[in-house]
Amino acid sequence: MTTTEPRAVRSARHTFAYPEPGGAAPIGLLPRNPGMPLDLAWVRDTRVNRSAVERRAATIPTRRSIKTAWQAGWLLRAITLMDLTTLQGDDTEGRVRRLCAKARHPVRRDLLEALGMQDASIMVAAVCVYHAFVKTAVDALDGSGIPVAAVSTGFPAGLTPFKARLAEIAASVADGAEEIDIVITRAHVLTGNWQALYDEVRAFRDACGHAHLKAILGTGELATLRDVGRASKVAMMAGADFIKTSTGKESVNAILPVGLVMARAIRDYRERTGFYIGFKPAGGIRKAKESLDWLAMMKDELGDRWLRPDLFRFGASSMLGDIERQLEHYVTGRYSAAHRHPLA
């Protein structure tokens, strides 16, 4: 996986190729998705050839061989696309503050210096927390430019009363969250009640105001890939800025066949409306190699523009430690112990 004219940064020991997607519009200049009226005919006409999707997904990890400086470059790119996340029942303010410190400096300084990237301002894309810790994260990230994302609407099941879900969104935005990760009611998809799903996501979008909305589909709990494609389209029509695979709490989370279906729904929506929608695979992505597979899929299916944090995110935390280990291996030729790269 290569890109046109990479920016080469030379250090005493390495030439480090950091990819800059060619022709990409500057971040922040894309118009926000306003949504569109629900088109039930388009939703019901969605078709997915499961065997073809699974065959295509199986080739993604084998078709690309990314080595040496290019691999290090794409791994650094992956870090800048991460929503660094803690969504545990034992979260504390101290853990969130440590996570935010890691978000500001996700790679050890000595590694960045060895790569010649000490001035590249490598930071994660966002920090994702429960509503109770939004204020803590906003305070800890003050001045960094890193936004806080809050999981809302009764995460992870999304079965709390509707008014409570709307109130939770409003409270997170009031506390400073710039992104809201909502969960849809999966029953609307499983019963084919597309109008109810559309109305729900539209209401969540309105409650978000200026904050961007990521719609979590909970794909591991949907019946078919066809349902994944249909739910993706309805969420985008309702005004979602991102569509996201999973909460990370399902038995099956982010997998490449689901990612392909969702990426192609994004492409269809772009061709139909002209608006760019972001994509976020989340849950179960733990290894550096997996991040390369997802980046390859996005580049192939949607193009270089979707390799920017305004259109692509990883919902991950443990993956960061493995990426740091791979970067240290590139610099020193040796793998280091995981405790040398603490998360928080």
Of 83, 102, 135, 181, catalytic: 181
Is 139 a residue of the active site? no
Q: What is the pLDDT of residues 86-110, one digit of tens each?
A: 999 999 999 999 999 999 999 999 9
Q: What is the pLDDT of residues 11-52, one digit of tens each?
A: 333 333 333 433 344 445 799 999 999 999 999 999 999 999
pLDDT at 36: 98
Is 280 a residue of the active site? yes
Q: What's the pTM value of the predicted model, to 2 decimals?
A: 0.90
Give percent of the chain above pLDDT 90.
81
Mean pLDDT of 158-163: 96
Is 102 a residue of the active site? no
Of 83, 244, 299, 310, catalytic: 244
Domains and CATH numbers, the chain: 34-333 (3.20.20.70)
Instruction: Read off the pLDDT band of 4 (50, 70, 90).
Output: very low
Of 135, 214, 233, 280, catalytic: 280
CA separation for the pair 104, 84 (Å, rounded): 10
Q: What is the pLDDT of residues 262-288, one digit of tens each?
A: 999 999 999 999 999 999 999 999 999
pLDDT at 2: 39
